[in-house]
Each structure stands twice: as C-alpha cells, then as structure tokens.
C-alpha cells in the first residue's frame, strides 16, 4: 500500500490493519481474520475493545503479540439482569427460533438498536439475553499488524475506516 509509512508504529488516528485470532480461556477459537482481509480500524477512536486497542499501541508493521484481555477491558461482565422473557407471539409464527441465535431489534421507546440472543425457548415464551455473547469472557488474542497508514480527515470525522470499494 503506497500510503504506508516506513518505521511507523501504531498511534492514535492511524488506520491499523490487524490480523487476529481470538480464543476463549479453554482454547476455543471464536473469531479469526484468517482466510479473509485483516480488520481495519482507527486507533484511538474506540472502534475496538479498550484492552486490545491499548495493547496494540506502539506495534510496528509485522509485529506479532499475544494479548490477554480481562472482561472489564473487553465486553464487560455478564449482567444477570440483562435477560428478558417475551411472549412467543411477539415473533412472526413462521420465524424459526433456535437457542443461541442472534436477533436484531429496536427498543420501542428509544428507537435504539439492540442485539439479543435466544437463551431459552419455552412453550409460550422466549428468553432473550441482551448481554454481549463474549461478556464475562477473558479474551486471548494473537495479533499481527499487517499494515499502517494515517487516517484521512474524512475518516477521522466519521470515526471509521473507508475502504477502497466505497465510502459511507
Ligand atoms: Zn464514513
């Protein structure tokens, strides 16, 4: 990439392309960039979890690192109050609900977008879990900085990376 800066290390307002593999405490791989493009994000904008952003700061292109992120610096602790039981007929009858499936919904009062997971299915109701699926987990990352460049003014004002395929 022609915009790459020789000798640069990860600092605020830089676009970082990060190869990563995420494992849980027991070694299970829950996410990886292997086989696809690295994750591109702007350092210092809160685009990624705080514990990972902090650990990547100062790395150079080609550097690799193991990073352990505690829940408080990851997706937070699981909140036992973040469960809600809703009537089965709140969902279309033809919709097949399975345990663990993710649902996107909108808060009726605030219009805020919410992600929930089906935690249980009962005869007439569905138990939804509004915790992030990785809440309460200690995260084990293997990361490698694949590329670095300065973010454009437009990217900084939007707070996210624009790819070559198009801007938004
Ligand atoms: Zn944008």
4 inside domain: no
Q: Please tell me whether residues 27 and 46 are part of one structural domain.
A: yes
Q: Please tell me whether residues 45 and 71 are part of one structural domain.
A: yes
Q: Please tell me whether residues 143 and 66 are part of one structural domain.
A: yes
Q: Please tell me whether residues 116 and 37 are part of one structural domain.
A: no
The model carries a pTM of: 0.77
Per the CB < 8 A criterion, the answer to whether 155 and 126 are in contact is no
What CATH number did the domain enclosing 95 receive?
2.40.10.330
Q: How far is the CA of 14 from the centre of ligand 1 (A)?
A: 15
Q: Please tell me whether residues 60 and 97 are part of one structural domain.
A: no
Residues 68-85: tens digit of each pLDDT:
999 999 999 999 999 999
Residues β-bridged to residue 143: 20, 65
Domain count, the chain: 2
Q: Please tell me whether residues 71 and 143 are part of one structural domain.
A: yes
Alpha-carbon distance 29 to 11, whole Å?
28
Quick count: other Cβ atoms within 10 Å of Cβ 108? 7
Q: How far is the CA of 49 from the centre of ligand 1 (A)?
A: 20
Per the CB < 8 A criterion, the answer to whether 160 and 154 are in contact is no
* Domain encompassing residue 55: 14-75+136-158
Alpha-carbon distance 94 to 97, whole Å?
9
Q: Please tell me whether residues 71 and 22 are part of one structural domain.
A: yes
What CATH number did the domain enclosing 50 receive?
3.10.50.40
145 inside domain: yes
Q: How far is the CA of 167 from the centre of ligand 1 (A)?
A: 6
45-50-53-55 Cα dihedral, nearest 10 degrees? 150
Six token digits for residue 168: 């938004």
Q: How far is the CA of 16 from the centre of ligand 1 (A)?
A: 16
Q: Please tell me whether residues 40 and 91 are part of one structural domain.
A: no
Q: How far is the CA of 70 from the centre of ligand 1 (A)?
A: 30
Residues 98-142: tens digit of each pLDDT:
998 999 888 788 888 888 999 999 989 999 999 988 999 999 999
């Amino acid at each position: 990439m022609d915009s790459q800066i020789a000798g640069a290390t990860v600092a605020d307002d830089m676009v970082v392309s990060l190869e990563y593999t995420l494992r849980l405490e027991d070694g299970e791989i829950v996410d990886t960039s292997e086989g696809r493009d690295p994750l591109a994000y702007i350092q210092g904008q809160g685009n990624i979890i705080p514990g990972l952003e902090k650990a990547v700061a100062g790395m150079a292109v080609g550097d690799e690192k193991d990073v352990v992120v505690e829940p408080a610096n990851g997706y937070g602790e699981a909140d036992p109050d973040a469960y809600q039981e809703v009537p089965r007929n709140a969902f279309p009858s033809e919709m097949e609900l399975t345990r663990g499936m993710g649902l996107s919904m909108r808060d009726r009062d605030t219009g805020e977008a919410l992600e929930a997971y089906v935690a249980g299915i009962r005869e007439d109701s569905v138990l939804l879990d509004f915790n992030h699926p990785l809440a309460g987990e200690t995260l084990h990352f293997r990361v490698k900085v694949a590329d670095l460049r300065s973010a454009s003014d437009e990217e900084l004002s939007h707070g996210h990376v624009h790819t070559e395929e198009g801007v938004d």
